[in-house]
Amino acid sequence: GENVEQHPSTLSVQEGDSAVIKCTYSDSASNYFPWYKQELGKRPQLIIDIRSNVGEKKDQRIAVTLNKTAKHFSLHITETQPEDSAVYFCAASGSGGGADGLTFGKGTHLIIQP
C-alpha cells in the first residue's frame, strides 16, 4: 500500500518569512495529493490539492509543487501570519482515486513566531 513520509515534524518560522513542508510517497500510481490544516481541537480543513497531471498550483499565499519522477510534493506558505500556526498534513490517494482512502503523513506542527 501507499506510504507517505512528511518532514519536518515541527517547523518554527518568523512571522513574514516563508515555510516549506515536504512529503514523499511510495506508490507511483498515486494521482491526487491534498494538504490539510488542523488547528487545535478543530477538524482538518482542505487548503489546497494537486492532481498528478499538474506540476504546481497556487492559491494566494500557499502553493503546492509535485515532482512525480522523484515522488515528492511540497507545501509552500509565503508571508506567514500568526493564523497560519497549526498542524499541516499531506496525503496521497492511490491509483484507485478515493477507493483506498487517503494515506496521510504524520503531520507538521507549524509555529509562527511574532
* Interacting residues toward other proteins by CB under 8 A: 1, 32, 34, 36, 42-46, 49, 51, 89, 91, 93, 96-107
Nearer to other proteins, 32 or 74 (CB): 32
Q: Is 92 helix (H, G, I), strand (E, B) or coil?
A: strand
Taking the complex as a whole, how short is the minimal distance between the CB of residue 15 and other proteins, in angstroms?
A: 27
Cβ proximity to other proteins, 80 vs 92, nearer residue? 92
> Smaller CB distance to other proteins: residue 36 or 73?
36
Q: How far is the CB of 72 from other proteins (least distance, A)?
A: 18
Q: Among residues 107, 89, 102, 108, which one has the least CA distance to residue 27?
A: 102
Beta bridge pairs of residue 104: 91
CB of 79 to other proteins, least distance (A): 26
For the record, the C-alpha cell of 73 comes out as 510534493
- d(Cα 110, Cα 90) in Å, to the nearest integer? 13
